[in-house]
């Protein structure tokens, strides 16, 4: 039996999260991170996007209204990773988080990417990151990927944020 690799054009299109309080989640994903509200189903669901796409993030309370966060040490989604187009856009995200008083769980330079780690209002893990160009990725002498986890200089990153409008 031959193993065929998945088509390299395949991508993950969106994430749909169960939340306990739709308004609170909208304040985070729309008002802090800056996603655009595309459609809303009353107080039960909302669909948000970047750039006018139908949705990158779905939020719903269908099975979770008023519910507690999932236990930390249980199976489930580790985090949602949101890819930013460049370092300036990631720096802008950091500025938005700081302005809203949202703490980071961590920040790392992985060689292939730079990432900010935090939690949304329902304690779901969120990674905000930017990829480096593939030609800059660290490799072993044999050509294999050599990702690392090193501290990310947040002060330097923040200095690269575009001027606020």
- Average confidence score pLDDT of the chain: 95
Tell me whether residue 73 is in a domain: no
Choice among 5-14, 37-46, 139-148 with the minimum mean pLDDT: 5-14
Examine the domain organization and report whether 58 and 126 are in the same domain: no
User: Is the model's pLDDT at 164 over the cut of 60?
Assistant: yes
Examine the domain organization and report whether 144 and 112 are in the same domain: yes
> For residue 72, what pLDDT band results from cuts at 50, 70 and 90?
confident
Q: Which residues contact 100 (CB under 8 A, 6 or more apart)?
A: 31, 32
CB atoms within 10 A of CB 146: 13
Gap between the Cα atoms of 56 and 128, Å rounded: 14
> For residue 11, what pLDDT band results from cuts at 50, 70 and 90?
confident
Q: How many domains does the chain have?
A: 2
**Beta pairing partners, 81:** 127
Q: Nearest CA to 84 among 116, 46, 37? A: 116
Domain carrying residue 56: 13-64
**Tokens found for residue 27:** 């304040």
Examine the domain organization and report whether 42 and 100 are in the same domain: no
- What pLDDT digit, counting tens, does each position of 24-69 carry? 999 999 999 999 999 999 999 999 999 999 999 999 999 999 999 9
Gap between the Cα atoms of 52 and 36, Å rounded: 7
Examine the domain organization and report whether 46 and 88 are in the same domain: no
> For residue 3, what pLDDT band results from cuts at 50, 70 and 90?
confident
Examine the domain organization and report whether 153 and 86 are in the same domain: yes
**Tokens found for residue 72:** 């930390």
Gap between the Cα atoms of 93 and 116, Å rounded: 9
| 19 in Cβ contact with 64 (< 8 Å) | yes
Examine the domain organization and report whether 104 and 156 are in the same domain: yes
Tell me whether residue 127 is in a domain: yes
Examine the domain organization and report whether 99 and 143 are in the same domain: yes
Examine the domain organization and report whether 91 and 150 are in the same domain: yes
Q: What is the DSSP letter of 146?
A: -
* CATH number of the domain within which 151 lies: 3.30.720.110
**Tokens found for residue 36:** 């655009």
* Span 102-121, average pLDDT: 98
Tell me whether residue 8 is in a domain: no
Query: 23 or 77: which carries more pLDDT confidence?
Result: 23
* Span 135-161, average pLDDT: 97
């Amino acid at each position: 039996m031959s193993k065929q690799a998945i088509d390299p054009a395949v991508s993950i299109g969106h994430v749909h999260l169960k939340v306990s309080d739709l308004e609170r989640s909208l304040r985070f994903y729309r008002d802090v991170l800056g996603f655009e509200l595309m459609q809303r189903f009353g107080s039960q669901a909302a669909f948000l996007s970047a750039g006018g796409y139908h949705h990158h993030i779905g939020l719903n309370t269908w099975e979770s209204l008023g519910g507690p966060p999932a236990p930390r040490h249980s199976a489930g989604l580790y985090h949602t990773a949101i890819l930013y187009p460049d370092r300036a856009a990631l720096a802008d995200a950091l500025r938005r988080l700081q302005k809203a008083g949202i703490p980071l769980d961590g920040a790392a330079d992985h060689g292939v990417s730079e990432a900010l780690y935090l939690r949304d209002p329902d304690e779901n893990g969120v990674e905000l990151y930017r990829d480096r160009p593939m030609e800059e990725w660290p490799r072993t002498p044999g050509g294999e990927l050599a990702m690392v986890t090193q501290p990310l200089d947040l002060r330097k990153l923040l200095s690269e944020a575009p001027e606020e409008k």
